[in-house]
Structure 1
Amino acid sequence: MKIEIKESNENYNLYVKSVDGKQVFITIANQNKDQNILKTASLLYKKAYEILTKYNITVFHERFFGTSKYYHDVQKIRAEELKLNTQDKCFSYIEGSPYWGEGISGINIHGIILCDEEIKDVEFNGIVCGKLYKTDAVDYMLVHTVHGNKESDYYGQTYEMFQSMIQVLNKYDFQLKNVIRTWIYLDKILLQYDEFNKARTKVFLENGLWSDSVDVDKTEEIYMPASTGISCGNPHGLTVISDVLAIRTKNSEKFNFSSESGKDQKSAMRYGSAFSRAILLDDKTSRYVYLSGTASIDDSGNTVYLDDIGLQIDKTYSVIDALLDISSMKLNNMVEGTVFLKKAEYIDVFIEYCKRRNIELPALITVADVCRDNLLFEMDGTFAGGC
Structure 2
Amino acid sequence: MEEKIIILSPTSRDSFLERLDDLHHQVVETLIKYKSSINNLLWSRVYLSDSANQWDIFQKHPLYQEILSKGAFSHIEQPPMDNSKVTLVLSIVPMYNLQKEGTPDKMSITCNGTTYLYHSIRLTEAEAENFTAMGQTMLCFEKHIEWLSEKGLTLIDNCMRTWLYVRDIDSNYAEVMKGRNAIFEKYGLTTNTHFIASTGIEGYGSHPKSVICMDFISIQTTEDMKIKYLQAPEYLNPTYQYGVAFERGTAFHLDHHHRFFLSGTASINKEGKCIYIGDVKRQTERLLLNMDQLLKNDGASIEQMKYFVIYLRDISDYPVVHKYMNERFPDIPKLITHAPVCRPKWLVEAEGEVDLLEK
TM-score, normalised to structure 2's length? Answer: 0.88
Q: Which of 36, 46, 59 in structure 1 is aligned with 2:15? A: 36
**Deviation at 1:75?**
1.3
Q: Which of 214, 219, 231 in structure 2 is aligned with 1:261? A: 231
Give the partner amino acid of 1:274. A
- For the Cα contact (< 8 Å) 2:12–2:18, is it kept in 1? no
CA distance in structure 2 between the aligned counterparts of 1:109 and 1:165, rounded to whole angstroms: 23
Residue 150 in structure 1 maps to residue 128 in structure 2: yes
- For the Cα contact (< 8 Å) 1:131–1:142, is it kept in 2? yes
CA distance in structure 2 between the aligned counterparts of 1:36 and 1:233, rounded to whole angstroms: 22
CA distance in structure 2 between the aligned counterparts of 1:115 and 1:353, rounded to whole angstroms: 36
- For the Cα contact (< 8 Å) 1:25–1:108, is it kept in 2? no
Q: Corresponding residue for 1:292?
A: 263
Q: Which of 62, 71, 77 in structure 2 is aligned with 1:95? A: 77
Which is strand-richer, 1 or 2? 1
Q: Corresponding residue for 1:125?
A: none
Q: Which of 129, 139, 151 in structure 1 is aligned with 2:115? A: 139
After superposition, give the CA deviation of every residue in 1:110-149 in whole Å (9 maximum; x if it has no partner): 3344756622225xxxxx5222123575422111225482
Q: Corresponding residue for 1:5?
A: none
Q: Corresponding residue for 1:71?
A: 55
Q: Corresponding residue for 2:171?
A: 191
Secondary structure of the 1:249 match is: coil
- For the Cα contact (< 8 Å) 2:40–2:92, is it kept in 1? yes
How many residue pairs match? The answer is 347
Give the partner amino acid of 2:91. H
After superposition, give the CA deviation of every residue in 1:25-80 in whole Å (9 maximum; x if it has no partner): 33223264733322122222322233336323433322100121211111122456
After superposition, give the CA deviation of every residue in 1:250-308 in whole Å (9 maximum; x if it has no partner): 231xx222211234112111111111000111122131110000001111111111111
Secondary structure of the 2:40 match is: strand
Q: 1:382 to 1:370 in 2, by over 3 A?
A: same
Give the partner amino acid of 2:348. F
Residue 271 in structure 1 maps to residue 242 in structure 2: yes
CA distance in structure 1 between the aligned counterparts of 2:42 and 2:132, rounded to whole angstroms: 31
Q: Corresponding residue for 2:41?
A: 59
CA distance in structure 2 between the aligned counterparts of 1:182 and 1:355, rounded to whole angstroms: 27
CA distance in structure 2 between the aligned counterparts of 1:205 and 1:80, rounded to whole angstroms: 38
Give the partner amino acid of 1:297. I
Q: 1:284 to 1:146 in 2, by over 3 A?
A: farther
TM-score, normalised to structure 1's length? Answer: 0.82
Q: Which of 90, 99, 108 in structure 2 is aligned with 1:118? A: 99
**Deviation at 1:188?**
1.2
- For the Cα contact (< 8 Å) 1:305–1:312, is it kept in 2? yes
Q: Which of 137, 142, 152 in structure 2 is aligned with 1:163? A: 142
Q: Which of 230, 235, 243 in structure 1 is aligned with 2:215? A: 243
Q: Corresponding residue for 2:279?
A: 308
- For the Cα contact (< 8 Å) 1:339–1:363, is it kept in 2? yes
CA distance in structure 1 between the aligned counterparts of 2:176 and 2:296, rounded to whole angstroms: 31
- For the Cα contact (< 8 Å) 1:136–1:250, is it kept in 2? no
Give the % identical residues: 24
Give the partner amino acid of 2:268. I
CA distance in structure 2 between the aligned counterparts of 1:233 and 1:157, rounded to whole angstroms: 14
CA distance in structure 2 between the aligned counterparts of 1:164 and 1:81, rounded to whole angstroms: 25
Give the partner amino acid of 2:168. K
CA distance in structure 1 between the aligned counterparts of 2:199 and 2:79, rounded to whole angstroms: 17
CA distance in structure 1 between the aligned counterparts of 2:26 and 2:140, rounded to whole angstroms: 33
- For the Cα contact (< 8 Å) 2:42–2:71, is it kept in 1? no
**Deviation at 1:90?**
5.7
Q: Corresponding residue for 1:347?
A: 318
**Deviation at 1:100?**
4.8
CA distance in structure 1 between the aligned counterparts of 2:59 and 2:71, rounded to whole angstroms: 7
CA distance in structure 1 between the aligned counterparts of 2:188 and 2:134, rounded to whole angstroms: 20
CA distance in structure 2 between the aligned counterparts of 1:285 and 1:90, rounded to whole angstroms: 25
> Please, which moves more after superposition, 166-175 or 350-359?
350-359
Q: Corresponding residue for 1:45?
A: 24
Secondary structure of the 1:222 match is: coil
Secondary structure of the 1:107 match is: strand
**Deviation at 1:369?**
0.6
Residue 26 in structure 1 maps to residue 2 in structure 2: no
Secondary structure of the 2:3 match is: strand
Q: Which of 300, 304, 308 in structure 2 is aligned with 1:333? A: 304
Which runs of 5 or more residues in structure 1 are unaligned? 1-21, 123-127, 211-218
CA distance in structure 1 between the aligned counterparts of 2:184 and 2:27, rounded to whole angstroms: 37
Give the partner amino acid of 2:186. E
**Deviation at 1:342?**
0.8
CA distance in structure 2 between the aligned counterparts of 1:136 and 1:30, rounded to whole angstroms: 31
Which runs of 5 or more residues in structure 2 are unaligned? none
Which is helix-richer, 1 or 2? 2
Secondary structure of the 2:288 match is: helix
Give the partner amino acid of 2:61. I
Q: Which of 152, 168, 189 in structure 2 is aligned with 1:173? A: 152
